[in-house]
Chains A and B, each alone.
Chain A
Amino acid sequence: MKKTTLLIACVLLCTLHLNLFAQNIEFKNYEWSDTVTISKVPASMSKENSVIIFEKKTFEYCFNSQGMLEEYMLIHKKIKVLQEKGIEDNNKLYIGTYSADEVLTFKARVISPDNKKTEMFKGDTKMVNEEGSNYMVLAVEGLTVGCDLEFFYIKQLNPNFFNTFRFQDQKNRLKTEFTMITPKSLTFKTKSYNSLPAIKDTLINKKRYYTLKLGLIEAMDEEKYAAYDASVMRAEIKLSQNLDAGNAELYTWAGAASQIYKNVHFENTDESKDVKKVLKQFKCTEPECLIREIEAYIKGNFNIQDIDGNDDVASTFKRKYTSTMGMLKLYVRFFEQAGIPFELVVGNDKFSSKFDPSFETWQYLEEYLFYFPKLQKYLTPTNDALRFGFFPGGLMMTDALFIKEIGIGDTKTALGKIQKIGEIPMEKTYNNMDINMTLDPATLKSKLKVTHTTNGFMAADIRMFYFYATAEDRLKYTESTFKYGVKDAVLSNLEVKGYDIAKGETETDFVLTADVASSELIEKAGGDIIVKIGELIGEQSEMYQDKDRKMDMELENTHSYTRKIVFTVPAGYEVKGMETFNFASEFDNKDGRKSGFVSKARKEGNQVIIDVREYYASIFYPKSLFEAYKKVINSAADFNKLTLILVKK
Chain B
Amino acid sequence: MEYRLNNYILAFFLLLSYSCVEAQSVDEYLEIKKVYPNADMYYTNIEDHIKIFYDKEKVKIDHISTREDMYLTDQSKSRTERSVSYSDLFNEIKSIEAYALVPKGKRYSKLKVVDFIESKSTNSSVFYDDQNTKSFKFEGIEPGARTYFSYKEDIKDVKFLFPIYLKEYSPVKITHGTLKYPNSVKLNYKVFGDTNGLSLHLTKKVTGSETLLTWEVTNTAAIPFEGSTCNVKYYAPHIIFWIEEYVSQGKTIPVCTDIKQLYQTNYALIKEVQAENSPLVKQMADSIVQGAKTDLEKLKKLYYFTQNHIKYIAFEDRMGGYVPRYASDVITKRFGDCKDKANLLRSMLKSVNIPSYLTWIGTRDIPYSFQELPTNSLFNHMIAATRIDNQWVFLDGTAEDHGLQVIPSHIQGKEALISISADSFVVAKVPVANLQDNFYKDQIRLSLDKEDVLKGSYELSMGGNWKTRMVGYIAGLTEKDKEKELQGLCQEGSNKSSAVLKGIKGLKERDTTLHIGLDFTLPNYIRRVNKKIYVNMNYVKQLESDDIDIPKRELDVENDFPYYFETTLRLKIPDGYKCTYLPTVSNFKTNDFGYEFVYKQEKNEIILVKRIDVNYQILPKSKFQSWNTMIESLKANYKESIVLEPIN
Which residues of A pack against B, CB within 8 Å?
A: 47-49, 84-85, 87-88, 91-92, 118, 126-131, 134, 137, 139, 141-144, 221, 300-301, 303, 305, 308-309, 318-321, 444, 468-473, 487-488, 519-520, 522-526, 528, 530, 539-542, 544, 576-577, 637-638, 640-641, 643, 645, 647
Contact = CB atoms under 8 A, between A and B. Distances in A.
B149 interface: no
Given A129-B122, A144-B309, A525 B534 contact: yes
A305 B641 contact: no
Contacts of B530: 576, 647
Nearest to A145: B309
B233 interface: no
A637 B335 CA distance: 46
Contact of A470 (B38, B124, B309, B529): B38
B410 interface: no
B60 to A, nearest CB: 30
A503 B494 CA distance: 45
11 contacts: A47-B479, A84-B475, A92-B127, A141-B335, A308-B117, A309-B115, A444-B639, A471-B38, A519-B635, A524-B640, A526-B643
A143 B332 CA distance: 9
A85 B581 contact: no
B476 A85 contact: yes
Interface in B582-611: none
Contacts of A92: 127, 313
B495 interface: yes
B111 interface: yes
A643 B315 CA distance: 57
A319 B529 contact: no
Given A139-B127, A139-B333, A530-B527, A472 B495 contact: no
B121 to A, nearest CB: 7
Contacts of A139: 127-128, 313, 315, 333, 335
The 10 closest A-B pairs by CB, nearest first: A526-B581, A525-B641, A542-B495, A472-B38, A129-B120, A47-B479, A141-B333, A470-B38, A576-B529, A319-B139
A318 B139 contact: yes
A524 B478 contact: no
B334 A525 contact: no
B152 interface: no
A641 B496 contact: yes
A525 B139 contact: no
Contacts of A488: 547, 635
B480 interface: yes
B120 A128 contact: yes
A487 B549 CA distance: 13
A128 to B, nearest CB: 6
Nearest to A118: B332
Contacts of B536: 523, 530
Contacts of A221: 480
Contacts of A144: 309, 334
Given A130-B122, A318-B111, A444-B639, A137 B128 contact: yes
Interface in B609-648: 635, 639-643
Which of B39, B78, B478 gathers most chain A CB within 10 Å? B478
B80 interface: yes
A637 B493 CA distance: 12
B534 A645 contact: yes
Contacts of B480: 221
B641 A523 contact: yes
Interface in B127-177: 127-128, 137, 139-142
A47 B80 CA distance: 48
Interface in B29-61: 37-40
Interface stretch (B9-17, B69-77, B185-193, B359-367): B69-77
B484 interface: yes
Contact of B80 (A118, A321, A637): A321
Contacts of A540: 495
A129 B529 contact: no
Which of A84, A128, A301 gathers most chain B CB within 10 Å? A128
B534 A530 contact: yes
A134 B139 CA distance: 25
A637 B496 contact: yes
A309 to B, nearest CB: 7
A221 B335 CA distance: 30
B524 A641 contact: yes
Contacts of A305: 80, 137
B635 A520 contact: yes
Given A320-B141, A645-B534, A141 B120 contact: no
Contacts of A444: 639
A139 B312 CA distance: 10
How many residues of B sit at the interface, in one of the four size bands?
35 or more
B580 interface: yes
Interface string B318-336: 0000000000000011110
A132 to B, nearest CB: 8
Contact of B532 (A309, A469, A528): A528
B179 to A, nearest CB: 33
A643 B333 CA distance: 60
Contacts of A301: 142
Contacts of A127: 120
A74 B137 CA distance: 37
A309 B525 CA distance: 63
A84 B77 contact: no
Contacts of B496: 542, 637-638, 641
B544 interface: yes
B335 to A, nearest CB: 6
Given A85-B475, A542-B495, A300 B139 contact: no
Contacts of A321: 80, 137, 139, 141
B73 A468 contact: yes
A297 to B, nearest CB: 13
A470 B308 CA distance: 47
B238 interface: no
Contact of B140 (A85, A142, A320): A320
A129 B121 CA distance: 6
A577 B120 contact: no
A186 B494 CA distance: 61
A312 to B, nearest CB: 14
Contacts of A638: 496, 524
Contacts of B128: 126, 128, 137, 139
Contact of A141 (B117, B332, B641): B332
Contacts of B117: 308
A610 B174 CA distance: 58
B311 interface: yes
B24 interface: no
Nearest to B119: A129
A229 B111 CA distance: 43
Contact of A544 (B39, B334, B484, B635): B484
Contacts of B315: 139
A649 to B, nearest CB: 13
Contacts of B476: 85
Contacts of A137: 127-128
Contacts of B479: 47-48
B484 A523 contact: no
A490 to B, nearest CB: 11
B249 interface: no
A320 B71 CA distance: 14
Given A128-B128, A139-B313, 7 more contacts: A92-B127, A301-B142, A318-B111, A320-B139, A488-B547, A525-B640, A530-B534
A100 B122 CA distance: 17
Contacts of A522: 639
Contact of A525 (B115, B309, B332, B642): B642
A169 to B, nearest CB: 13
Contact of B545 (A141, A487, A641): A487
Contacts of A141: 332-335
Contacts of A577: 527, 529
Given A308-B115, A526-B643, A640 B534 contact: no
